[in-house]
Amino acid sequence: MTEQEILEVIEAFTRAAARTKKAGFDGVQLHCAHGFLLSDFISPYTNRRIDRWGGSVENRARIVTEIVRRIKEQAGADFPILVKLNATDDFRPNSQRTDIKVEISQAIETAKILEKAGVCAIEVSGGLSKTSGIAIRLAINSPTKEAYFREYSKAIKKAVNIPVILVGGIRSLSVMEHLLENGFADMVSMSRTFICEPDLVLQLKSRKTTKAKCVSCNLCFDIEGIKCNFDFN
């Protein structure tokens, strides 16, 4: 990307956030994970630039901090901006390129930079599609497989003062409570569970259930539309 193209992207994110506010939303989350554009800037695997947008952790995060700065100018300093951040590029085992993956130490540094820029919460995820990193893991069928990025969120939580949200394979109430009570995260977040049980939060709240029914098969990824492959009701 040229310098001009990067500046255009920053303005496009800014306009989108301003429209979001105008439409009545409470805040925005910048997607800086999973191998989309902003995480490609943050990752040293995909970002090989030698200008002010690449190299150091600070330079690689610059596109995000610039977007945050511009959103605050356009949508107001109090309009909440969250970031979903890759804490690991999650290379497949035996990858030869582990020298340039995002390490947790770098993710912690990025999180601190984002906090300083005025981001109000960080959702911790991982997995860069280009490295076969898996953000959306299969067969989460035991509590030990749940919350697969938990060590990363714990490390980031220790380093920042803003709330840290953990995502990835969270299914059981007991695991959620364990994560919150033991410093792994301030909040938990889920995705696939709501595709098959949109009322899951209400069920957990009333203790009608203590575990999501989702079997983490990923069959809901359907070009025709996202829906659960099973009828759990």
Ligand X SMILES: Cc1cc2nc3c(=O)[nH]c(=O)nc-3n(C[C@H](O)[C@H](O)[C@H](O)COP(=O)(O)O)c2cc1C
Give yes or no for residue 39 binding ligand X (CB under 6 A): no
CA nearest 112: which of 68, 152, 159?
Answer: 159
- The interface with ligand X within residues 98-137 (CB under 6 A) comprises 125, 135-136
Q: How many CB atoms are closer than 10 A to CB 175?
A: 21
136's contact among ligand X, ligand SF4, none, with CB below 5 to 8 A by partner kind, is: ligand X
Task: Say if CB 211 and CB 171 are below 8 A apart.
Answer: yes
- Tell me which of 191, 203, 209, 210 binds ligand X, using CB under 6 A: 191
Q: How many residues belong to the site for ligand X (CB under 6 A)?
A: 16
- Determine which helix (DSSP H) or strand (DSSP E) holds 166, and give its type and residue range: strand 164-167
Beta carbon nearer to ligand X, 73 or 221: 221
Token pair 């002010």 is at which residue? 52
Give yes or no for residue 192 binding ligand X (CB under 6 A): yes
- Tell me which of 221, 227, 229, 232 binds ligand X, using CB under 6 A: 221
Instruction: Write down the least CB distance from residue 98 to ligand SF4, Å.
Output: 29
> How many residues are recorded in the chain?
233
Instruction: Write down the least CB distance from residue 127 to ligand X, Å.
Output: 9
d(CA 18, CA 72): 9
Give yes or no for residue 31 binding ligand X (CB under 6 A): yes
Beta carbon nearer to ligand SF4, 12 or 226: 226
Contact residues: ligand SF4, CB under 6 A: 192, 195-196, 214-220, 228-230
Instruction: Write down the least CB distance from residue 77 to ligand SF4, Å.
Output: 38
Beta carbon nearer to ligand SF4, 1 or 219: 219
List of long-range contacts for 213-219, beta carbons under 8 Å, 24+ apart: 214/140, 214/171, 215/139, 215/141, 216/137, 216/138, 216/139, 216/140, 216/141, 216/169, 216/171, 216/192, 217/138, 217/139, 218/136, 218/138, 218/192
Residue 28: phi and psi, rounded to 5, are -130, 155
Give yes or no for residue 220 binding ligand X (CB under 6 A): yes
Where on the chain is the footprint of ligand X (CB under 6 A)?
A: 31, 84, 125, 135-136, 167-170, 190-193, 220-221, 226
